Amino acid sequence: MSKFEVQTYTLCEGWKNLWTVDGQTETFNSHEDAEHSVKEHLKECLEDGIKEDKYNYRIIKKESE
């Protein structure tokens, strides 16, 4: 089964999965779940007065390992 991950753009390493839970990279069961997580993150940033560019994030399909 395919999983989805949120990747963040970094200047030094390009696109990378930086989303973690308990020290492990986080993956999602659906594109919708990943998208919801990004939207919640951006909403929280806005509430905290942090300007964050939504284009710093992308959701990719990660094939089963």
pTM equals 0.84
Q: Is residue 27 part of a domain?
A: yes
What local confidence, expressed as pLDDT, does residue 14 receive? 96
Domain extent for 16: 3-52+56-60
In a domain, 36, yes or no: yes
In order along its 65 residues, the chain shows pLDDT tens digits of: 679 999 999 999 999 999 998 999 999 999 999 999 999 999 999 999 999 999 999 999 987 65
Q: Identify the residue whose tokens are 């020290």.
A: 23
Does residue 65 form part of some domain? Answer: no
- Is 39 inside a domain boundary? yes
Q: What DSSP state is assigned to residue 36?
A: H
* Counted domains in the chain: 1
Under 8 Å CB-to-CB from 61, ≥6 apart: which residues?
2, 3, 4, 31
